[in-house]
Amino acid sequence: MFDAETLKRLRGSRERWDAAVEAEGREGPGPFMTTSSRPIQRLYDPTDLADADFDYTRDLGQPGEYPFTRGIHPTGYRGRPWTIRMFSGFGSAEETNARYHDLLQHGQSGLSIAFDMPTLLGYDHDQPHGEGEFGHCGVAVSSLPDMEALLRDLPLDAITTSMTINSPAAVLWAMYIAAAERRGINRKDLGGTLQNDILKEYIAQNEFIFPPRPSMRLVTDTIEFATKEMPKWNTVSVSGYHIREAGSTAAQELAFTLSNGFEYVRWALDRGLDIDAFAPRISFFFNAHNDFFEEIAKYRAARRIWAREMRETFHAKSKRSWWMRFHTQTAGVALTDTQPEVNLMRVTIQALAGVLGGTQSLHTDAMDEALALPSEKAARLAVRTQQVIMHESGVTNTVDPLGGSYFMEALTNELERDAYDYFQKIEALGGVIPAIESGFFHREIADASYRYNREIDDGERVIVGLNKFQVDEPIDIPILRIDREGAHRHRERLQQLRNERDAEAAQQSLQRLANVCRDEHENTMPYIIDAVNAHCTLGEVMDTMREVFGEYREVLVV
């Protein structure tokens, strides 16, 4: 960007300025660092980019052009705003359905379904493992009638739906497909996203069921099925969100998420799929944590790395295969249960980082989520936060407004370098699955989490209202209360389903599924759809697969 003589002059100027600032002694003690404990210089200038061999065309380019550092669309949000997609679900299917109608009425433009813990772990709510957890962290779904109640009167062919599920992803997706088709909506017209990222479960969230390899087979089945039958559906949303919530740094979130994405690509290619047929339907899901600039740099580095690897390593030809499309959610782990109203400010800053980083859709956490599931008022305020950013802040007026900032570009380069360092370490261990089995990811995240929390405990890092600026006052915000009768109605519906279905047809469909699970050359999705249409329950389908695949026990990390 600058010739050698100019850079030499700038370095001299910088050295004189640094010396003068040091002599004044007016700078505080710091530490000046990001949320990830990355040291930050007091100033960035063209020399920081020159030292990194920064090339405008190669590393930055124009919006909508390779390597997409500045975004995948040439007009940014001038052409299309991000989707307001609030992650929501609680209690019974009927209660959550009412919340969805309310959110759509108040400006949400896409659905994002949160399921409760028994559902996420593949149990029916009348099984012993499902007792006592009904609807506490999401909506309870055990059967096709539950899914039909959840989706009642929602315009499934006019909106997109994201579903956060992992081990039971294929089964819940089959229920969604079956519920839509029973309303006369063709599966080809359904648009949405399955999180369905099982690798991050072994790395961070631990909501796995089967061992890694049969789990990867199921993910690959969903990729293949959608590639052939559901062109509008994203069958795997590769999730860094939970990696960050477990305590990782921004660089670890970036590197581990992309490594997982590359692994899904390899499995799909091994299945014989054409990369340009399935890669455009892989999406991503990132965290928006507290450090404004580090988060924006993370998103920009992610787009650049994905584009490069898809084009140069995996030889994708389609521009859409090079695109990294991602959803962002503000950091639940950053919310405090003290002075919860302050969370409104935290979420606003985090959401703004997601927007300036070029996210395609956004969830803003509600202020009360450190205490309970969001109340109706808190959920509405979270939507309003996005609407104020979208319509009043002015950030949608230009594409990548921070592009070209010496600080931003230097930080983006640093995160990119850190990601490639991690790629090399993972490759040296034999790849993602061997790295999981050795405990590598758990150790890396645990060390980062320990360091961050020690900084808070020691007062090096200020968390407003937690370790500084405390007040002694009662919490005065409404708390969501789940209808206790919902669990009773849910179990009654399950029992009615079992009493009224064709028991022999249900059992035969489960047997066919078990047979195909033993045959790695056949796709499981058609058989899972048949089973849910035969009114087999979630627990019955998952238990059938448990018998074939077994259950995973993670490696103890010491």
> What pLDDT, in 10s, does the model give residues 273-290?
999 999 999 999 999 999
pTM of the predicted model as reported, rounded to 2 decimal places: 0.94
Tally of CA atoms within 13 A in the half-sphere of 349 that contains its CB: 13
3-state helix, strand, coil in the chain (%, to 5): 55, 10, 40
- pLDDT tens-place values along the chain, 558 residues long: 678 899 999 999 999 999 999 999 999 888 899 999 999 999 999 999 988 889 999 999 999 999 999 999 999 999 999 999 888 888 899 999 998 998 888 887 788 899 999 999 999 999 888 777 888 889 999 999 999 999 999 999 999 999 988 899 999 999 999 999 999 999 999 999 998 999 999 999 999 999 999 999 999 999 999 999 999 999 899 999 999 999 999 999 999 999 999 999 999 999 999 999 999 999 999 999 999 999 999 999 999 999 999 999 999 999 999 999 999 999 999 999 999 999 999 999 999 999 999 999 999 999 999 998 888 899 899 999 999 999 999 999 999 999 999 999 999 999 999 999 999 999 999 999 999 999 999 999 999 999 999 999 999 999 999 999 999 888 877 777 777 788 888 999 999 999 999 999 999 999 999 999 999 889 999 999 999 999 999 999 999 999 999 999 887 766
| Tokens matching residue 54 | 């920064």
Question: Which residue type, as a one-letter code, is found at position 512?
Answer: R
How far is the C-alpha of 235 from the C-alpha of 273, rounded, in Å?
Answer: 14
Alpha-carbon Rg for the chain, nearest whole angstrom, is: 24
pLDDT at 1: 66
For CA atoms 16, 18, 22, 24, give the dihedral sign: positive
- Asked whether 260 and 432 are in contact (CB, 8 A), the reply is yes
Predicted confidence (pLDDT) per residue in 455-467, tens digit: 999 999 999 999 9
Q: Indicate the DSSP class of residue 369.
A: T
Which three-class secondary structure string do you get for 56-97?
A: HHHHHCCCCCCCCCCCCCCCHHHCCCCEEEEEECCECHHHHH
How far is the C-alpha of 325 from the C-alpha of 283, rounded, in Å?
Answer: 5
From residue 88, give the alpha-carbon distance in Å to each of 97, 112, 202, 327, 369.
Answer: 10, 6, 24, 15, 11
- Asked whether 199 and 441 are in contact (CB, 8 A), the reply is no
| Tokens matching residue 52 | 């990194």
Question: Which residue type, as a one-letter code, is found at position 243?
Answer: I
The residues that bridge with 285 in the sheet, in sequence order, are 239, 327
Reported as type and span, the H/E element at residue 15 is helix 4-24
For CA atoms 314, 317, 318, 324, give the dihedral sign: positive
| Tokens matching residue 376 | 């109706």
Taking the alpha carbons at both ends of the chain, their separation in whole angstroms is 48
Q: Please report where in the chains the tokens 């599931």 appear, as a residue.
A: 373
Reported as type and span, the H/E element at residue 444 is helix 440-457
CB neighbours of residue 545 within 10 Å: 25
- Asked whether 321 and 279 are in contact (CB, 8 A), the reply is yes
CA dihedral 258→261→265→268, nearest 10 degrees, is 170
Helix (H, G, I), strand (E, B) or coil at 263: helix
Angle separating helix axes 503-517 and 538-549, nearest 10 degrees: 30
CB neighbours of residue 388 within 10 Å: 12
Strands 282-288 and 236-239: parallel
pLDDT at 557: 63
How far is the C-alpha of 132 from the C-alpha of 417, rounded, in Å?
Answer: 46
24, with CB counted inside 10 A (0-12, 13-18, 19+), is: exposed
Nearest to 179 by CA among 138, 203, 146: 146
Q: Indicate the DSSP class of residue 160.
A: E
- Asked whether 368 and 382 are in contact (CB, 8 A), the reply is no
How far is the C-alpha of 140 from the C-alpha of 126, rounded, in Å?
Answer: 11
**318: Cβ contacts below 8 Å, ≥ 6 apart:** 276, 279, 280
| Tokens matching residue 354 | 């997601």
| Tokens matching residue 19 | 């010396």
How far is the C-alpha of 514 from the C-alpha of 497, rounded, in Å?
Answer: 22
Q: Cα angle at 344 between 341 and 346, to 5 degrees?
A: 115
Buried b (16+ CB within 10 A) or exposed e, 74-94: eebbeeebbbbbbbbbbbbbb
Q: Which of left, alpha, beta for 34 (phi over 0: left; psi -120 to 50: alpha)? A: beta
326, with CB counted inside 10 A (0-12, 13-18, 19+), is: buried
